[in-house]
Amino acid sequence: MYISETTVRVRYAETDKMGYVYYGNYTQYYEIGRVEAMRSLGTSYKEMEENGIMLPVYTCSLKYHKAALYDDLLIIKTIIKELPTLKISFDYEIYNQENVLLNTGSTTLIFINMATNRPCRAPESFIKKIEKYF
Protein backbone atom coordinates (compact mmCIF):
# COMPACT_ATOMS: atom_id res chain seq x y z
CA MET A 1 0.00 0.00 0.00
CA TYR A 2 1.22 3.48 -0.82
CA ILE A 3 0.12 6.56 1.15
CA SER A 4 0.85 10.18 0.26
CA GLU A 5 -0.16 13.36 2.07
CA THR A 6 -0.39 16.87 0.74
CA THR A 7 -1.94 20.06 2.06
CA VAL A 8 -4.00 22.79 0.49
CA ARG A 9 -5.59 25.87 2.04
CA VAL A 10 -9.24 26.54 1.22
CA ARG A 11 -9.50 29.69 -0.88
CA TYR A 12 -12.46 32.06 -0.70
CA ALA A 13 -13.44 31.27 -4.29
CA GLU A 14 -13.90 27.59 -3.33
CA THR A 15 -16.64 28.38 -0.82
CA ASP A 16 -20.34 29.10 -1.05
CA LYS A 17 -22.26 31.94 0.58
CA MET A 18 -22.16 30.11 3.94
CA GLY A 19 -18.36 29.88 3.88
CA TYR A 20 -18.45 26.10 3.30
CA VAL A 21 -16.38 24.50 0.55
CA TYR A 22 -18.71 23.99 -2.41
CA TYR A 23 -19.33 20.25 -2.76
CA GLY A 24 -18.04 20.04 -6.33
CA ASN A 25 -14.58 21.22 -5.29
CA TYR A 26 -13.76 18.00 -3.46
CA THR A 27 -13.02 16.25 -6.76
CA GLN A 28 -10.42 18.96 -7.43
CA TYR A 29 -8.86 18.18 -4.04
CA TYR A 30 -8.77 14.52 -5.09
CA GLU A 31 -6.93 15.52 -8.25
CA ILE A 32 -4.40 17.51 -6.23
CA GLY A 33 -3.89 14.48 -3.99
CA ARG A 34 -3.35 11.99 -6.80
CA VAL A 35 -1.13 14.30 -8.87
CA GLU A 36 1.09 14.86 -5.84
CA ALA A 37 1.05 11.13 -5.01
CA MET A 38 2.25 10.34 -8.54
CA ARG A 39 4.88 13.06 -8.26
CA SER A 40 6.11 11.66 -4.93
CA LEU A 41 6.49 8.27 -6.65
CA GLY A 42 8.81 9.88 -9.19
CA THR A 43 6.46 10.29 -12.14
CA SER A 44 3.79 12.71 -13.32
CA TYR A 45 0.74 12.91 -15.54
CA LYS A 46 2.75 15.12 -17.88
CA GLU A 47 5.48 12.49 -18.17
CA MET A 48 2.91 9.75 -18.85
CA GLU A 49 1.24 11.84 -21.54
CA GLU A 50 4.60 12.64 -23.12
CA ASN A 51 5.10 8.86 -23.29
CA GLY A 52 1.72 8.30 -24.96
CA ILE A 53 -0.38 7.28 -21.94
CA MET A 54 -3.39 9.18 -20.63
CA LEU A 55 -5.34 8.49 -17.45
CA PRO A 56 -9.02 9.43 -17.70
CA VAL A 57 -11.22 9.02 -14.63
CA TYR A 58 -13.44 5.93 -14.89
CA THR A 59 -15.26 6.09 -11.55
CA CYS A 60 -15.53 8.57 -8.70
CA SER A 61 -17.34 8.32 -5.39
CA LEU A 62 -17.30 10.59 -2.37
CA LYS A 63 -18.87 10.98 1.03
CA TYR A 64 -19.16 14.16 3.04
CA HIS A 65 -18.67 13.86 6.80
CA LYS A 66 -18.28 17.52 7.86
CA ALA A 67 -17.91 20.80 6.03
CA ALA A 68 -14.55 22.29 5.16
CA LEU A 69 -14.49 26.04 5.71
CA TYR A 70 -12.80 29.05 4.19
CA ASP A 71 -9.12 29.25 5.23
CA ASP A 72 -9.01 25.69 6.60
CA LEU A 73 -5.76 23.89 5.97
CA LEU A 74 -6.78 20.60 4.41
CA ILE A 75 -4.67 17.46 4.63
CA ILE A 76 -5.37 15.24 1.64
CA LYS A 77 -4.35 11.65 2.30
CA THR A 78 -4.15 9.66 -0.94
CA ILE A 79 -3.93 5.88 -0.71
CA ILE A 80 -3.14 3.31 -3.41
CA LYS A 81 -4.14 -0.08 -2.02
CA GLU A 82 -3.42 -2.29 -5.04
CA LEU A 83 -0.67 -2.52 -7.61
CA PRO A 84 -1.97 -0.94 -10.85
CA THR A 85 -2.72 -3.09 -13.90
CA LEU A 86 -5.01 -1.69 -16.61
CA LYS A 87 -6.34 0.76 -14.05
CA ILE A 88 -5.26 2.48 -10.88
CA SER A 89 -7.49 3.19 -7.90
CA PHE A 90 -6.99 5.96 -5.36
CA ASP A 91 -8.73 6.33 -2.01
CA TYR A 92 -8.86 9.71 -0.31
CA GLU A 93 -9.31 11.02 3.21
CA ILE A 94 -9.51 14.77 3.73
CA TYR A 95 -8.90 16.21 7.18
CA ASN A 96 -8.83 19.76 8.50
CA GLN A 97 -6.02 21.26 10.59
CA GLU A 98 -7.63 19.84 13.77
CA ASN A 99 -7.38 16.34 12.25
CA VAL A 100 -11.17 16.07 11.87
CA LEU A 101 -12.21 13.78 9.01
CA LEU A 102 -14.22 15.88 6.54
CA ASN A 103 -14.51 13.75 3.41
CA THR A 104 -13.70 10.31 2.04
CA GLY A 105 -13.77 9.09 -1.52
CA SER A 106 -12.19 7.13 -4.32
CA THR A 107 -11.42 7.37 -8.00
CA THR A 108 -10.41 4.77 -10.55
CA LEU A 109 -8.46 5.82 -13.62
CA ILE A 110 -7.73 3.72 -16.71
CA PHE A 111 -4.40 3.65 -18.55
CA ILE A 112 -5.14 4.52 -22.20
CA ASN A 113 -2.70 4.25 -25.08
CA MET A 114 -3.06 7.63 -26.82
CA ALA A 115 -2.11 6.23 -30.24
CA THR A 116 -4.83 3.57 -30.24
CA ASN A 117 -7.25 5.16 -27.74
CA ARG A 118 -7.52 1.71 -26.11
CA PRO A 119 -6.83 0.53 -22.56
CA CYS A 120 -3.31 -0.68 -21.90
CA ARG A 121 -1.25 -1.96 -19.00
CA ALA A 122 0.40 0.47 -16.62
CA PRO A 123 3.82 1.50 -17.95
CA GLU A 124 6.60 -0.79 -16.72
CA SER A 125 8.61 2.24 -15.60
CA PHE A 126 5.75 3.26 -13.30
CA ILE A 127 5.28 -0.29 -11.97
CA LYS A 128 8.99 -0.41 -11.05
CA LYS A 129 8.56 2.78 -8.99
CA ILE A 130 5.49 1.62 -7.10
CA GLU A 131 5.85 -2.15 -6.73
CA LYS A 132 8.06 -1.92 -3.63
CA TYR A 133 5.02 -0.70 -1.67
CA PHE A 134 3.05 -3.90 -2.33
Mean pLDDT of 122-129: 95
Looking at the DSSP bridge assignments, the partners of residue 105 are 62, 92
What confidence score (pLDDT) does residue 131 get? 95
Q: What is the pLDDT of residues 10-68, one digit of tens each?
A: 999 999 988 899 999 999 999 999 999 999 999 998 999 999 999 999 999 999 999 99
CATH number at residue 15: 3.10.129.10
pLDDT band per the 50, 70, 90 thresholds, residue 119: very high
Are the C-beta atoms of residues 77 and 66 closer than 8 Å to each other? Answer: no
Mean pLDDT of 113-129: 96
pLDDT band per the 50, 70, 90 thresholds, residue 80: very high
Distance CA 49, CA 42 (A): 15
Domain hosting residue 114, numbered range: 2-133
42 dihedral zone (left: phi>0; alpha: psi -120 to 50; beta)? left
What confidence score (pLDDT) does residue 2 get? 97
Are the C-beta atoms of residues 93 and 50 closer than 8 Å to each other? Answer: no
What letters, b where the CB count within 10 A reaches 16 and e where it falls short, cover 46-58?
A: eebeeeebebeee
What is the domain count for the chain? 1
Q: How far is CA 6 from the centre of its chain?
A: 10
